Amino acid sequence: MAKYKTILVISDTHFPYQHPDTLEFLRRLKASYKPDKVVHIGDEIDGHAISFYPTDPDLLGASDELQLAIDRLKCLYKLFPNVDLVESNHGSLVYRKGKVMGLPRNYFKSYNEILEAPKGWKWHFDLTLEMSDGNQVYFTHGKTAAAGKLSQSMGMCTVQGHYHERFEVIYWANPNGLYWDMRVGCLVDDKSLAFNYNNTNLKRPIVGTGVIINGQPKLVPMILDRNGRWIKRLV
């Protein structure tokens, strides 16, 4: 198994309802950290218009939303031609809808075909990688909001997305070593109507993502100004 020195995590992007500075932010992180592995933690697209929940009549229809998501993803394909992604509740909406309607997966195109993604983009149910310090790290979209629980259950370091307002690293140890559980926030546009459902929550989404360097996690917040735009000088 390859050992990775610097793993850049891309948190939930929800294209086309991503934060407007997402691509510039990720471009800067790529240049700063020079990752040898990139993992997208899921919810790469939003799929609002094909959601199981009521859709907002003031947002795009299903076809236009998908096309705009693809157009924006294409910028990410250029920036990161090789990405491993974990399956997620939003990313898998089309298959989940098909299942509810009794349609086998063979009737559907692959993620790569639907999103016009390059061969270097690979979807996994979940993913375990080896880090340069010899420890393993487990990536999954979102299995538990309980701090540290996933890492302790798996007995290895873990990374989750899904919980947009969670941006934290919890460390724990046993006689064999030191482990951590990282939650990487999200890269969504909190002002979009697609996230209106979230407006009654006290906790707001935290925009940012995470990097793993030599086996140690680092959270990188996207520092925003009063208009919600990235203050570029602070990365």
Chain positions contacting Fe ion, by CB under 5 A? 12, 43
Beta bridge partners of 181: 158, 170
**In the complex, what is the shortest distance from the CB of residue 176 to Fe ion, in angstroms, rounded to a whole number?**
33
**In the complex, what is the shortest distance from the CB of residue 139 to Fe ion, in angstroms, rounded to a whole number?**
14
Q: Please identify, using beta-carbon distances, which residue of 156 and 207 lies nearer to Fe ion.
A: 207
Question: What tokens were used for 202?
Answer: 């006290």
Q: Please identify, using beta-carbon distances, which residue of 5 and 97 lies nearer to Fe ion.
A: 97
Among candidate residues 58, 27, 5, the one with its CA nearest the CA of residue 209: 27
Q: Please identify, using beta-carbon distances, which residue of 43 and 190 lies nearer to Fe ion.
A: 43
| Contact criterion met (CB below 8 Å) for 189 and 20 | yes
**In the complex, what is the shortest distance from the CB of residue 208 to Fe ion, in angstroms, rounded to a whole number?**
14
| Contact criterion met (CB below 8 Å) for 190 and 218 | no
**In the complex, what is the shortest distance from the CB of residue 165 to Fe ion, in angstroms, rounded to a whole number?**
11
Residues 6+ apart with CB under 8 A from 23: 72, 75, 76, 79
Q: Please identify, using beta-carbon distances, which residue of 43 and 181 lies nearer to Fe ion.
A: 43
What is the C-alpha to C-alpha distance for residues 37 and 6, in angstroms, rounded to an integer? 7
What is the C-alpha to C-alpha distance for residues 212 and 171, in angstroms, rounded to an integer? 14
Q: Please identify, using beta-carbon distances, which residue of 21 and 43 lies nearer to Fe ion.
A: 43
**In the complex, what is the shortest distance from the CB of residue 84 to Fe ion, in angstroms, rounded to a whole number?**
17
Q: Please identify, using beta-carbon distances, which residue of 210 and 215 lies nearer to Fe ion.
A: 210
φ and ψ of 13, to 5 deg: -100, -30
Tell the burial category of 214 from Cβ atoms under 10 Å away from its Cβ (0-12, 13-18, 19+): exposed
Sign of the torsion formed by the C-alpha atoms of 143, 147, 148 and 152: negative
**In the complex, what is the shortest distance from the CB of residue 8 to Fe ion, in angstroms, rounded to a whole number?**
18
Q: Please identify, using beta-carbon distances, which residue of 21 and 156 lies nearer to Fe ion.
A: 21
- Reported in sequence order, the residue ranges of the chain that DSSP labels E, i.e. its strands, are 3-4, 6-10, 37-40, 83-86, 121-124, 127-131, 136-140, 157-160, 167-174, 177-184, 208-213, 216-221
**In the complex, what is the shortest distance from the CB of residue 64 to Fe ion, in angstroms, rounded to a whole number?**
21
